[in-house]
Amino acid sequence: MDNHLQLHLALSNTSTHNMLKKRKFDESFSDDEMTSNKRTLPLLIWNDNRNLDSGCVDVEGDAVVGWPPVNSRMRKVAEHHRRESTASNYVTVDNGGGGGGLNWMYVKVEMEGIGIARKVDLGIFGSYQALTATLMAMFGKRREMYKLTYRDKEGDWLLAGDVPWERFVRSVRRLKLLKKVW
């Protein structure tokens, strides 16, 4: 297809363009290929989900990095509304408001050795660091002395920090701060 390399106004290329378009049309839009065509976007070859913790939401396992082009603030808003609409996943509902239907992402937080638990809205944090800092401030303790654990939606207790933040927020149901023994 060497006439592509002649980079001038391409009246003579019209037929080539039509050919290209036609080929693409035939290739791309035969019925059962319609969906599979979407799976062969070139970028999926190099997208190995390494950007997950910086906000690319892994929806069906083959999400496109940075697509759709919404910034991190909007992504958080969308995530919040998505949680809202699957309300059966909610454990704690602590909404001062009637009606409106939008709850904050409150979870219970216990600290080992302290009788009264607290509640915190995970929706306002963007990172483990921010969450831990606030929790420490709430209980008036020093960060180095406690480790953060959580119970996920399957009921298991895990150490916080292993999975990217946004995945954590979606699976956490309760938090517990345990004293470090080492």
Partner 1 sequence: MAYSFPEEVLEHVFSFLSSDRDRNAVSLVCKSWYDIERWCRRRIFVGNCYAVSPEIVIRRFPELRAVEMKGKPHFADFNLVPEGWGAYAYPWIAAMEEAYPFLEEIKLKRMVVTDESLELISKSYKSFKVLVLTSCEGFTTDGLASIAANCRHLRELDLRESEVEDLSGHWLSHFPDSCTSLVSLNMSCLGSEVSFCALERLVARSPNLRTLRLNRAVPLERLANLIRRAPQLVELGTGAYSAEIRSDTFSNLADAFSACKQLKALSGFWDVVPSYLPAMYSVCSGITSLNLSYAAIPSSDLVKLISQCQNLQRLWVLDYIEDSGLDALAASCKDLQELRVFPSDPFGAEPNVSLTEQGLVSVSEGCPKLESVLYFCRQMSNAALIAIAKNRPNFIRFRLCIIDPQAPDYLTLEPLDAGFGAIVEKCKELRRLSMTGLLTDRVFKYIGSHAKKLEMLSIAFAGDSDLGLHHVLSGCDSLRKLEIRDCPFGDKALLANAAKLETMRSLWMSSCSVSFGACKLLAQKMPRLNVEVIDERGPPDSRPEGCSVERAYVYRTVASRQRLDMPDFVWTHDEDSSLRYS
Which of 81/153 has CB closer to partner 1? Answer: 81
157 binds partner 1 (CB under 8 A): no
| 55 dihedral zone (left: phi>0; alpha: psi -120 to 50; beta) | left
103-105-106 Cα angle (round to 5): 100
Per-residue x/- track, 117-156, partner 1 (CB under 8 A): -------xxxx-xx--xx--x-------------------
Distances (CA, A) of 20 to 10, 38, 59, 68, 130: 14, 18, 33, 27, 52
Neighbours of 165 (CB within 10 A): 21
d(CA 54, CA 81): 19
Q: What part of residues 47-86 is at the interface with partner 1 (CB under 8 A)?
A: 51, 54-57, 59-60, 63-75, 77-78, 81-82, 84-85
Choose which of 2, 7, 155, 182 interacts with partner 1 (CB under 8 A).
7
Which of 131/177 has CB closer to partner 1? Answer: 131
Stretch of residues binding partner 1 (CB under 8 A), selected from 90-98, 107-115, 155-163, 172-180: 90-98
Which of 59/181 has CB closer to partner 1? Answer: 59
Sign of CA dihedral 17, 23, 24, 29: positive
d(CA 56, CA 75): 9
Query: Contact residues for partner 1 (CB under 8 A)?
Result: 4-5, 7, 9-10, 13, 17, 20-21, 24-25, 29, 38, 41-43, 46, 51, 54-57, 59-60, 63-75, 77-78, 81-82, 84-85, 95-102, 104, 124-127, 129-130, 133-134, 137
